[in-house]
């Protein structure tokens, strides 16, 4: 029927289906050949023996009966004792000729049958393999159609439970993971874009407004310069932090770090801020605690948390830092009695660019990257960070670092 589609199989580079069909046809052909040879040999043997026996009284071999069917045992074949006849030479010749032509026919017939079954079997195999391999084609078709824009598509094979189904399932779970990481990526870049565009827009508008004004005074230029400088520093800070966020584990430069001097340094660096906000930073020193960490990154991680405690606080408030060994962890606890975090914001504070409503008022210039960076650094070290907070009462962060 579809000659062209048959033709196509041979013109294409070998597909799984093509290979399957070819191998099956070859095997079928060889099997048929064997049976052809066997049938012909057996027929020759049997006919010769039969003629010899019938006409010349030569006995059948003993095992002939066991080879042939039961009907032969029961006597439809002439048994040795039943055959006593007189035969002329011409009859023998006639009988041999008859046998020859029968064998000839058999040969022609069986060769014909060989080709017939091979072709028929081949066609059968072709359709069978097409049927079994169709799901695979669907898999590859869907895979081709899925792009970054249509990651929500899935394969579905409800009817079967075979290897193809297993493949489809594996494929689907892979798609799920891909989709999730792709969505995360998308969210990340769209929020990055948002955060970068705001200072960019400020810079551009300020520039253009002053440039457009032919009568702009030196004062106006001055003011523009200051505004642009401010926006620029913000951009720099965001970019700096984003670069920090793309750090991988490989880049850690670990050494043994004593926590006491590290925290003292942080406290010292935050002194101007804590004076301005009138918030005391208390570090309860414990001389011997150390952990195996990247000093610069650990500094950054702890500073972010302590800085938050100062910023989201009230005048006269405090931030208390304690640290101690707990089972296999070194725990650093940063508590404050500041504004606290409402329950509905607590889940998202570690995400990038997420900022609380209170925080926006108290510290307008914040980027919302601080805790995301802290969490990343802590996790790169194999640790974890937890938060407990009650609004208007205070917040406690617990940072767990592996002690070795």
The interface partner of residue 230, options being ligand ATP, Mg ion, other proteins, none and the CB cut-off 5 to 8 Å by kind, is: other proteins
253/2 Cα distance (integer angstroms)? 68
* In contact, 178 and 146? CB cutoff 8 Å: no
Question: Cβ-count burial of 313 within 10 angstroms (0-12 exposed, 13-18 middle, 19+ buried)?
Answer: buried
Which range binds Mg ion by CB under 5 A, 77-85, 210-218, 330-338, 370-378?
Answer: 370-378
Does 309 bind ligand ATP (CB under 6 A)? Our answer is yes
178/364 Cα distance (integer angstroms)? 36
Q: Residue 270 Cβ, how far from other proteins at the closest point, in Å?
A: 26
Does 359 bind ligand ATP (CB under 6 A)? Our answer is yes
| Among positions 135, 317, 338, 383, the unique one binding ligand ATP when judged by CB under 6 A | 338
What residues numbered 249-308 form the site for ligand ATP, per CB under 6 A?
304, 308
Does 367 bind ligand ATP (CB under 6 A)? Our answer is yes
Does 230 bind other proteins (CB under 8 A)? Our answer is yes
- Paired tokens of 63: 């095992």
What residues numbered 301-360 form the site for other proteins, per CB under 8 A?
357, 360
- Tokens 């952990």: give the residue: 291
306/263 Cα distance (integer angstroms)? 10
For 334, phi and psi rounded to 5 degrees? -120, 110
- Closer to ligand ATP by CB, 368 or 383: give it: 368
Q: Residue 276 Cβ, how far from Mg ion at the closest point, in Å?
A: 16
The interface partner of residue 208, options being Mg ion, ligand ATP, other proteins, none and the CB cut-off 5 to 8 Å by kind, is: other proteins
Q: Which residues make beta-bridge pairs with 333?
A: 322, 398
Q: Residue 285 Cβ, how far from Mg ion at the closest point, in Å?
A: 24
Pairing of strands 384-390, 318-326: unpaired
Does 338 bind Mg ion (CB under 5 A)? Our answer is no
161/175 Cα distance (integer angstroms)? 20
* In contact, 133 and 16? CB cutoff 8 Å: yes
- How many chain residues are in contact with other proteins, going by CB under 8 A? 22
Q: Using CB under 8 A, list all residues that contact other proteins.
A: 190, 193-194, 197-198, 200-206, 208-209, 212-213, 224, 227, 230-231, 357, 360
């Amino acid at each position: 029927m579809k000659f062209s589609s048959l033709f196509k199989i041979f013109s294409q580079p070998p597909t799984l289906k093509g290979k399957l069909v070819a191998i099956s046809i070859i095997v079928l052909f060889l099997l048929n050949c064997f049976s052809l040879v066997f049938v012909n040999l057996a027929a020759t043997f049997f006919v010769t023996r039969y003629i010899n026996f019938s006409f010349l009284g030569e006995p059948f071999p003993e095992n002939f009966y066991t080879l042939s069917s039961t009907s032969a045992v029961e006597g439809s074949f002439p048994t040795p004792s039943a055959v006593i006849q007189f035969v002329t030479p011409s009859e023998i010749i006639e009988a041999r000729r008859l046998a020859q032509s029968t064998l000839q026919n058999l040969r022609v017939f069986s060769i014909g049958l060989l080709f017939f079954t091979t072709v028929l079997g081949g066609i059968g195999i072709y359709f069978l393999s097409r049927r079994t391999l169709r799901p695979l084609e669907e898999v590859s078709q869907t895979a081709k159609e899925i792009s970054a824009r249509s990651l929500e598509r899935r394969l579905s094979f409800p009817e079967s439970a075979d290897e193809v189904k297993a493949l489809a399932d594996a494929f689907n779970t892979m798609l799920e993971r891909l989709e999730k990481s792709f969505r995360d990526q998308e969210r990340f870049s769209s929020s990055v874009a948002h955060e970068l565009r705001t200072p960019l827009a400020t810079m551009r508008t300020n520039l253009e407004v002053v440039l457009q004004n032919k009568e702009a005074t030196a004062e106006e230029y001055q003011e523009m310069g200051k505004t642009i400088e401010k926006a620029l520093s913000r951009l720099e800070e965001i970019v700096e932090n984003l670069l920090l966020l793309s750090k991988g584990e490989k880049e850690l430069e670990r050494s043994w770090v004593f926590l006491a001097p590290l925290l003292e340094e942080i406290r010292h660096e935050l002194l101007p801020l804590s004076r301005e906000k009138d918030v005391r930073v208390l570090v309860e020193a414990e001389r011997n605690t150390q952990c195996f960490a990247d000093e610069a990154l650990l500094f950054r991680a702890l500073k972010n948390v302590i800085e938050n405690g100062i910023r989201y606080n009230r005048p006269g408030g405090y931030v208390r830092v304690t640290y101690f060994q707990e089972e296999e962890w070194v725990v650093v606890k940063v508590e404050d009695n500041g504004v606290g975090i409402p329950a509905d914001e607590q889940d998202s504070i570690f995400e990038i660019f997420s900022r609380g409503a209170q925080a926006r008022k108290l510290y307008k210039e914040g980027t919302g990257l601080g805790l995301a960076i802290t969490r990343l650094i802590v996790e790169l070290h194999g640790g974890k960070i937890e938060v407990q907070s009650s609004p208007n009462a205070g917040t406690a962060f617990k940072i767990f670092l592996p002690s070795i």
